[in-house]
Amino acid sequence: MEIRQGIPVSPGIIISEALILDSEELRIPQRFVEKDAIDGEVARFKQAVEDSNKSLEQEIDRLESEIEIHARILGVHRDLASDPMLHSEVEKLIRDNCYTAEHALSRVMNRYVRKLQDLKSPILRERVHDLQDVEKLLLSTLLGKRIEGLSNLKGEVVVIAHNLTPAQTAKLDPEKVKGFATDMGGKTSHTAIMGRALGIPAVVGLDNISTSVVGGDRIIIDGYRGVVIIDPDEDQVTDYLARAVEMEKLSLHFRSQAKLPAETIDGHLLEVHANIEIPSEVKSAIEFGAAGIGLYRTEFIHFQSPTGGEEVHFENYRSVLESLDGLPLTVRTLDLGGDKLPEGGLEEENPFLGCRSIRWCLANPEPFRSQIRAILRAGVLGPVRMMLPMITTIPELDKSLQIIDEVSSELRESDVEFDENMPIGVMVEVPSLALIASHVADRVSFLSIGSNDLVQYTLAVDRGNEHVADLYDPMHPAILQLISQLVRTGEDHGVRVSLCGEMASEPIYLPLLVGLGLREISVSPQLIPEVKQVIRNLLDYDVRILTERCLRMSDGESISRELRLWAVEHLPEVALRLT
């Protein structure tokens, strides 16, 4: 028996057998063929591509009705496998060197991978993973070896891996994959977000869990506390089975109350909105009791159709608004760059401090203007707000607002119907903007605190890096002071202040956020029922006293400890998750 402590990223408890995600390369048994076999090798390669694409198409068809973004990832793999340049280079090596199809493919793909790795750019890492996944798929087809996919498992498992690439998470079947634990990852990493989206327990940042577990080992994953137990004894299994039953009862209770308002005991009403990436998420957001969409991430619209422009965006917004049926929608303009590399994007040494988000939009005004047109037009179909991300200076904000005014004038002159009075706001994600919020509030209709990046940029901690995950602390006094200042600024200027980010989804943090005066938050749809339940158990007077006490503390660890002690006394349902 071994107990490991990691980072809890998706709540729940599961006890199951481990499946180790194997990264071992497929062995190529033969490198050369006789000259008279060359045509046969070329034909074999083409057949392998055809067979692999059929397999991908089947998986895409299945996923499009369930998890749309995963289907898009596999669509990238299909396109890579179908690339005429790849086919041409592989065929040339076969014909010029008498290589087997497997050996020619491996040499071409390795060259592609090296080119990307030599750029030393973190934003290209996922593209390396894509190439490696495609190579593995084609090689397994050529070699006649069926690799057991994560989407067609025979029994229930928990997946143990060094890391999960987008392609691998695309294949997670929540009916069979009941949880996962990884060496890498942080609270807001890709794997963390996907675990929550799938609704399965997950723990990340476990350092070397993938080399500590043997396939078939019995594993307990506690996604509430970040604990993974390898080969537990019978007493531990019994205890966790009972705990899992108790927590499931709590979850069902939360969901049964999801439609009730998020109102404190003494009558302070909060709005709990949902963060979404694709239109199909709206249905679950409404089922879980969302008051609207507080953050619609639009990058995936751009990746789906980089040249589609205005009409593609407009149709996506229309689809969301139809599903919302009168509930409000906040659309964030493109947040490209950083770890979301646009087509033809710059290769930068430090992309998170480079040409990302609003900087990219101002440097690429045509897609920005097209999106603004689509948002303004969508405003006549329902209540829509436009939000500008990662503004750092007043000139940046003024330039963005000027472009919005210019687009509005163009629509007006063309007699195109649009929302003349659409609320325009900014996402506060960097300290520079938070510290000059009074100047910002004079120019916009609302402020939305993007807590994930605000913590990252304030504390100089990469939020996806497990090596510094312990330094990524939303309860750091500097973060709380910035949020407090922003709320006060909003009150002074009559501007609404909300918070969207993982910070708002942590039940233990909610009393502090309410005590700071926040009245609107936005979280992942699946987390809304519990968030609303916690709010309904708060007394505004009590949480303000708690907040004043926490704001006098000098470190995040002390504040977190204070919040835990407070939860034990005032929020037994939350405390149950932590003990």
Q: Could you give the residue numbers annotated as active site?
A: 190, 500
Rounded distance, CA 166 to CA 245, Å? Answer: 31
Phi, psi of 347 (to 5 degrees): -90, 115
**Contacts of 119 by beta carbon, 8 Å cutoff, 6+ apart:** 347
**Contacts of 297 by beta carbon, 8 Å cutoff, 6+ apart:** 275, 276, 277, 332, 335
Torsion of CA 527, 533, 537, 541, to 10 degrees: 50
Strand positions, DSSP E, 279-422 = 293-297, 329-332, 384-388
Reduced to 3 states (helix: H, G, I; strand: E, B; else coil), residue 40 is helix
How far is the CA of 449 from the CAs of 161, 375, 458, 462, in angstroms? 33, 21, 13, 18
Reduced to 3 states (helix: H, G, I; strand: E, B; else coil), residue 231 is coil
Q: Is-contact 123 343, C-beta < 8 A?
A: no
Give the torsion sign (CA, 468, 473, 476, 479): positive
Rounded distance, CA 29 to CA 78, Å? Answer: 26
Torsion of CA 406, 411, 417, 419, to 10 degrees: -10
Give the torsion sign (CA, 409, 410, 412, 417): negative
**DSSP for 162-180?**
S---HHHHHT--TTTEEEE
Please tell me the number of Cα atoms within 13 Å of 430 on its side-chain side.
15
Please report which residue ranges of 158-298 form alpha helices under DSSP H: 166-170, 190-198, 209-212, 234-256, 281-287
Closest CA to 569 of 508, 514, 504: 508
Q: Is-contact 369 309, C-beta < 8 A?
A: no
Rounded distance, CA 56 to CA 60, Å? Answer: 6
